[in-house]
Homo-oligomer: A and B are copies of this chain.
Amino acid sequence: MNATIVTIGDEILIGQIVDTNSVSIAKRLNNIGITIFEKLSIGDSREVIVSTIERAMNNSKVVIITGGLGPTKDDITKHTLANMFGSRLVYNDTEGEHVRQLLARRGIEFTELNRGQAMLPECCTVLHNAHGTAPGMWFDTPKGGVVVSLPGVPFEMEHLMEDEVIPRLKARFELQSIVHRTLITRGIPESLLAARIEAWEDALPKHLHLAYLPAPNVVRLRLSAYDVDKEQATTEIEAQFDKLRNLIGDNIVGYEGSTLEALVHDILIQRGKTLAVAESCTGGAIASKFTAMAGASNYFLGGVVAYANEAKRDILGVSMDDIECFGAVSEVVALEMAEGVRRITGADYAIATTGIAGPTGGSKQKPVGTVWMAIATPEGSRAVMRNSGTDRGQIISRASAYAIEMLYEEIKNNTNK
């Protein structure tokens, strides 16, 4: 079972927004056993929309479209689809009333443009959008396929997929399963890893597909099986992963989309230990990675973003003499920050960062990208320096990752801690 995902909107083609809709749709379709054949993004042009959807219907039983359903003149998806399926637009009382009430609750006047949002192709099944003013549309195609049009607002699209589209697809088609399992390795470069596991890779059964997903210091290995029985494929993949554990066990750090911060999160909750962070150059990025995860309040006591030197001194108790003598970006200050936040929060573990995120502030001795990271534990503290690149965003994200990695290394094996 194949699907094509089409996102419509010039804002995608000019790079004004990052398309996350197709990511979420792809995941949901994969979950119910539908393989994505192709994802594409096209502009708000009638001819392109028509030719794209016609081609997509030839390639895939299911075509999911997002975007172009708003009330304004640049939104042409609905009219184009009505034309394509030879259907006229008729006013839908239920949807019209819903839009009127939704706007009334927000204190917004119901205009002719809003009325237009309840004008829907006669031939489609209307998918009620409880969270917005643009309903979704489900078209059955002559060849037994389905074309679904959804609004581009991510939140509205998500609810429509979950509540209206997925249940209908499951009822409509006999679906097999797709199974993906991803294993995360650290410490072996991709090419050496490939050499180490070559015999294993060559012996994989044909229906298990291996992918290498390299990132700095991490290579993820994904095994995928399409159109299979879920339990059987999962067991089979697990057995293959068991073999890998024998080959590269020490380098395996986790599974399935789990990030290092998620692993730390799990370990801290499991052991009943607590964490605090003190951030200078990462500016809250580390705190927000942890607090983004449900359950963080079980271990995350607090964080201090000590950007100004006075904040380092007044909140964390860093010595101003040390800042003057060694600089704010130094081993001494990183250690005092970690120890300071550990002391004031009473946390078991603390990590700290201080560095030069740029673009200005660098010097010959300490160029932009220089970051000191420290960890303070019940047993003591230590710091390391890493150069984290040249781009501000990259420096913040790498320094955050390194600091979390220090913590992970500290706690991963020590079950007494």
Contact = CB atoms under 8 A, between A and B. Distances in A.
Determine chain A's interface SS by DSSP, over half rule. mixed
Contact of A26 (B15, B361, B393): B15
B70 A209 contact: no
Contacts of A73: 194, 201, 210
A392 B292 CA distance: 7
B14 A26 contact: yes
B307 A305 contact: no
Interface string A299-339: 01111111110110011000000000000000000000000
Interface string A168-190: 00000000001010100000011
A160 to B, nearest CB: 15
Contact of A358 (B103, B290, B294): B294
A82 interface: no
Contacts of A210: 73-74
Contacts of A285: 284, 288, 291-292
Most buried by B among A22, A41, A44, A106: A41
A345 B314 contact: yes
Interface string A8-31: 011111111111101111110010
A10 B288 contact: no
A314 B279 CA distance: 18
A95 B297 CA distance: 50
B314 A344 contact: yes
Interface residues of A, number: 109
Contacts of A290: 283
B40 A14 contact: no
A115 to B, nearest CB: 10
A15 B38 contact: no
Contact of A72 (B75, B190, B306): B190
Top 9 nearest A-B pairs by Cβ distance?
A283-B291, A284-B287, A302-B311, A284-B284, A303-B305, A15-B26, A15-B27, A284-B288, A40-B40
25 contacts: A15-B23, A15-B26, A15-B27, A15-B36, A18-B18, A38-B41, A72-B194, A74-B209, A106-B189, A108-B191, A111-B192, A113-B195, A114-B191, A277-B305, A284-B291, A284-B303, A285-B288, A287-B288, A292-B393, A300-B305, A301-B310, A301-B311, A303-B304, A311-B344, A315-B344
